[in-house]
Amino acid sequence: EAWITRQLESEIELSPTLTGVLGQFETLDLTPKECREFIYMEIPDDATPEERRARNALRNLPKRELAQSVLLRAMLNERQIEEVLCDFWRNHFNVSFTKGGPADALIPDYESQVIRGNIWGKFPAMLKDSARHPAMLHYLDNYLSRKPPSKQELAEVERKVRRRTGSRQRGEEAASIAAQKGLNENYARELLELHTLGVDKFYKQKDVVAVAEALTGWTADLGRNGTQNFVFNGGMHIYGDKRVLGRVIRSKAGEGQEEGEAILNLLSSHRGTADFVATKLVRYFVNDIPPPALVRRVSATFSKTKGSIPEMISAIVESKEFWARENYRAKFKTPFEFVVSALRVTGAEVDSVRKITSTLQSMGQPTLHCDDPTGWYDTAESWLDPGVMALRWEFAEALASGKVEGVRIPDSFFSIIPSDLPPLLWQHHLTRAVLPGGAGERTRAALAAVTNDYLKGRSIPDLYDLGPRLLGLLLGSPEFQQQ
């Protein structure tokens, strides 16, 4: 209880190790505009081929450093609940580098301001910050959403292109392309379906259209020399009253941005949002099949506290369901959780995370590269794949035997085994360190078999030979795959 209270209520400073590691990154603290300028920094005409290659390689640095920082924070941050919450909300309000284009410059700031900047606050603030952030506007195309161009605007497009090119055909083609621009429902649909109410809950298609219309003009200055900031463009907005979820959103001339804000307020206070967010949190923290009674209590906490995230987490971890035996080890680790927990439990020293990030990619969960707006799923059925499990076993063995590039388990980890302890008992000390809840019968039998086979061929047991073998088995065991 004291540990949880400290995690939720007090400021835990970053460790000197983590501070030092993050301080080596060049791009984490850049604004989107600065990040964009870094990515597209001019290459001098007289640059050598080597200099050009080096400069081009740096264009991926913001994206690479952010992914590395997410992993390192998860490994090293002593405020563990903070990292767990970041993992949850990063998937709830998913954006992805797979979108390409401006995303490389926008997502580092999104992670800092929208996700990390709100996890100790309230849901409505995070929702509003995500809705206005250029990374989300770009990811779900709302920056393009606008009222359909008028006949006069299309005629002006045609005249300009014809005048510039001298071609009537090109002018007509440009006008035809411009005519296709208009309302984009992508963000409005995901706002209702994934961020607030849930799939097919409370709303209909006409609500999606009305929300999309209210959010026209919510765009961003994403040009090469732009600020990369949120902008409301009244010229793109569809004015007029909108009816959403049975409520009328009044429209006033010159106040189009307020329509979108009114809808975000409506959704934040809707009981459907409280239920949906509560269900996801309980599923994430307790069981793939969320206990209904706990969901109702967390939903009530959402409504009572106006979406306080710490209060909802407290309601979960203080509940009888959280501690119930049937919910013990009921969750299956995602690849990210598996890799991070293996590194944390062994106290692994990391000089480079390049191999770890490539491992996550091969396991199907590359950091911040989930193309689906749902984010990565956290239920067992999403990850119980034989091919992925084989990769987990390979990683466990490689980590334990020191074969993961840039990563090593310190000798001090194995010092938990007393020097005068018989080898047949080594497995018990390692199990206690890696699986505090204990190992199952099959895992214990496998550990004993490896120890016996080892002793048959050795007269003098070697802790730093047998120890890694046993550790690899424990990290790859069924029990370690469970939360």
User: What size, in residues, is the chain?
Assistant: 483
Q: Which of 108-122, 131-145, 167-181, 462-476 has the lowest mean pLDDT?
A: 167-181
Structure tokens belonging to residue 470 = 């046993």
Q: Are 396 and 478 within 8 A, CB to CB?
A: no
With 0-12 / 13-18 / 19 or more C-beta atoms within 10 angstroms meaning exposed / middle / buried, residue 205 is exposed
Q: Which of 127-141, 152-166, 458-472 has the lowest mean pLDDT?
A: 152-166
Q: Please report the pLDDT score of residue 177 as a whole number.
A: 57
Residue 153 pLDDT more than 60?
Answer: yes
| Residue-wise pLDDT tens digits, 46-60 | 888 888 888 888 889
Q: Please report the pLDDT score of residue 429 as a whole number.
A: 93
Q: Of 306, 322, 333, 316, which Cα lies nearest the Cα of 396? A: 333
Structure tokens belonging to residue 444 = 């214990």
Structure tokens belonging to residue 289 = 């099949």
3-class secondary structure, 223: coil
Q: Of 434, 418, 430, which Cα lies nearest the Cα of 343? A: 434
| Residue-wise pLDDT tens digits, 351-408 | 999 999 999 999 999 999 999 999 999 999 999 888 888 999 999 999 999 999 999 9
Phi/psi for 179 (5° steps) reads -65, -25
Residue 164 pLDDT more than 90?
Answer: no
| Residue-wise pLDDT tens digits, 214-239 | 999 999 999 878 899 999 999 999 99
| Residue-wise pLDDT tens digits, 288-322 | 999 999 999 999 999 999 999 999 999 999 999 99
Average pLDDT, the chain: 92
For the chain, percent of residues with pLDDT exceeding 70: 96
Q: Of 114, 298, 92, 107, which Cα lies nearest the Cα of 196? A: 92
Q: What is the DSSP string of 62-128?
A: HHHHHHHHHHHHHHH-S-HHHHHHHHHHHHHT---GGG-TTHHHHHHHHIIIIIITTTTSBHHHHHH
Structure tokens belonging to residue 304 = 């009572």
Q: Please state at what angle helix 32-39 crosses helix 103-110, rounded to 10 degrees.
A: 150
Answer with the residue of higher pLDDT: 346 or 174: 346
Q: How many helices (H) and strands (E) are present in the chain, helices listed first?
A: 25, 6
Answer with the residue of higher pLDDT: 176 or 33: 33
Rounded Cα distance, 448 and 454, in Å:
10
Rounded Cα distance, 321 and 326, in Å:
9
Residue 172 pLDDT more than 70?
Answer: no
C-alpha atoms less than 13 angstroms from C-alpha of 297 in its C-beta half-sphere: 17
Instruction: Quote the pTM value.
Output: 0.91
Answer with the residue of higher pLDDT: 164 or 374: 374
Rounded Cα distance, 201 and 186, in Å:
17
Q: How far is CA 325 from CA 38, 239, 307, 446, in A?
A: 52, 55, 29, 26
| Residues 144, 255, 244, 123, CA torsion sign | positive
Which residues have CB under 8 Å from 143's CB, separation 6+? 134, 137, 218, 219, 220, 222
